[in-house]
Amino acid sequence: MPGRHLERGAAVILIGTNGWENFTLVGVRRLGYDVPRTAPACPGQQAAGESFGDAMPQTHVREDCGPTDEARLQSLVDVIDLLGRHTKVRGFLPELAACLRTFSEFDVLGVVVPGDRWSTAQLYAVRVQSADAASARTKVHSIDVPPLDRARLAALADTGAPAMVSDRLDEADEFAGVIAALRGLGQQSACLLPLSTVLGPAGLMILASSRDGTYRNYDLSFLRRIGALLAMAIDAGRRQQEAVAHAHELQAERDHRRTLLEVTNAVVTQRDVAALRAAVVPNVRRIVPHDHTNLYLVDEQRRVGPFVIDPTALPWPDDLATQIQLDAEPYKSWLTPFDRAVDVDVTHADPKGWEAMKAHVEASGVKRICNAPPPSKRSGAGSAARARCLRQAGL
């Protein structure tokens, strides 16, 4: 190589013959750049000005690795790098489009990601205006895949077919929703490449072009290698989401068991209604977000007995409790079903029969009320009313 010694860290690929009396330099690569190669040297003669080190014999340089192959290899490295830095398709799709544009022809790159065994599916797509236009600012379109398309795409992914090519999108009668989305982005032809891992189908990669017949005789061999990496990234992201969801389920279960234990302790140790309410509220609020908790008892004659209003709520007028008639609507439907909780939308509920109470809770900023009766063998045991004050919560 003219005037250049190989630096430490450079990788050299050599092919030797006849006991290494002759060898061929296939490629030289160092971190960050490619070391230039010269034209083939004459047999038995080193190219003028080249210095490969004292131990290097005569060379024949062969240009087997053309620019296109180098671009593909570099793209493969770039894809591995970006998939290692991102866990979501929306995050890596613009950069992936930039990598693939160095050797592949498309105007829109899309990825179909199924969820819960294709019960849902999302199409993520980016439109690339030029080879270097894709960036973090590139808009990622997110489109819900219709049920019929999901079934057909799932069947295509399950077959393990190498690809499906559509020369003219307006002539396609399959995947109508996906085709309409691509046509909405100005595309005329497309190639759907199923993605799978050893564990099964992972989704599909879509290349779309604004010209007809772009992929009719297209070589997809290298794209399948990219697709294999993409499939593993999608599968890894899905499994990460499943792990996070499972962790949340375990945390919720722990919270429920802790709440049940602490509420049980409060019930067996507290005889005062106000003290019982104060002991129960922090535990209930941990698993059911709300703003106020009121506790009141209902006797066997279906009358409201002792009750305690949350001290952070607006105090009740003295005569408000006397207006609660459990045998009249709407209180009969709200408070006396002891086998289920009843949710009340204060804003849209009919005010008839509870005009004074509705005016009071609206003045408190309360938007929703949930009446949750504690399970009991007695017909009238009591009820806890959890009020969600959306205005105070800033929702």
Q: Is the pLDDT of residue 233 over 80?
A: yes
Asked if residue 45 has pLDDT above 50, the reply is: no
Q: What percent of the chain has pLDDT over 70?
A: 71
382 contacts 373 by C-beta, under 8 angstroms: yes
Q: Which pLDDT band holds residue 49 (cuts at 50, 70, 90)? A: very low
Q: Among residues 384, 352, 345, which one has the least CA distance to residue 366? A: 345
Q: Which long-range contacts (CB under 8 A, 24 or more apart) does 219-225 make?
A: 220/162, 220/163, 220/191, 220/193, 222/72, 222/103, 223/100, 223/104, 223/193, 224/162, 224/193, 225/76
Residue 226 has pLDDT above 70, yes or no: yes
C-alpha to C-alpha distance for 213 and 188, rounded to whole angstroms: 8
Strands 22-30 and 60-61: parallel
φ, ψ of residue 318 in degrees (nearest 5): -60, -35
Orientation angle between helical segments 67-85 and 89-100, nearest 10 degrees: 170
Q: What is the pLDDT of residue 385?
A: 57
Residue 265 CA to residue 279 CA, distance in Å, equals 9
Q: What is the pLDDT of residues 243-269, one digit of tens each?
A: 999 999 999 888 888 888 887 887 788
Q: Does the pLDDT at position 43 exceed 50?
A: no
Report all structural domains of the chain as residue ranges with CATH numbers, in order of start.
Answer: 11-64 (no CATH), 68-241 (3.30.450.40), 272-393 (3.30.450.40)
- pLDDT of residue 42 exceeding 80: no
pLDDT at 100 over 80: yes
Is the model's pLDDT at 7 over the cut of 70? no
- The band of 199, judged by pLDDT with boundaries at 50, 70 and 90, is confident
Q: What is the distance between the alpha carbons of residues 52 and 273, in angstroms, rounded to a whole number?
A: 91
The confidence band for 61, taking pLDDT boundaries of 50, 70 and 90, is: very low
Query: pLDDT (tens digit, 9 = 90+) per residue, 262-318?
Result: 878 877 887 777 887 888 778 777 777 788 888 777 766 667 766 777 788 788 887
Average pLDDT over the chain, rounded to an integer: 74
Is the pLDDT confidence value at 392 over 80?
no
CA separation for the pair 94, 141 (Å, rounded): 11
Between 7 and 375, whose confidence is greater? 375
Looking at the DSSP bridge assignments, the partners of residue 345 are 368
| pLDDT tens per residue across span 120-170 | 899 999 998 654 544 546 789 999 998 888 888 888 888 777 788 888 887
Q: Hey, what are 130's tokens?
A: 């030029």
Least confident of 26-30, 98-102, 178-182: 26-30
Determine the average pLDDT of the residues in 163-180: 81
Whether 33 shows a pLDDT value over 70: the answer reads no
Looking at 33-172, list the stretches that DSSP marks H as alpha helix, in order from N- to C-terminal side: 67-85, 89-100, 147-159
User: In the chain, pLDDT over 90 holds for what percent of residues?
Assistant: 15
Indicate the Cα dihedral angle 324, 325, 331, 336, nearest 10°. 110
Q: Which amino acid is at 205?
A: M
Beta strands in the chain (DSSP E): 11-17, 22-30, 33-34, 60-61, 108-115, 120-127, 140-144, 164-166, 189-197, 200-209, 292-298, 304-308, 342-345, 368-372, 383-388
Chain segment 365-383, per-residue pLDDT in tens: 888 888 877 655 554 445 5
Mean pLDDT over 324-328 rounds to 80
pLDDT of res. 125: 93
Q: Do the beta carbons of residue 185 and residue 113 sit within 8 Å?
A: no
**Angle formed at CA 74 by CA 72 and CA 75, multiple of 5 degrees:** 60
Assign 324 a pLDDT band (cuts: 50, 70, 90). Answer: confident
Residue-wise DSSP of 88-121: SHHHHHHHHHHHHTTT---SEEEEEEEETTTTEE
Give me the pLDDT at residue 176, please: 85
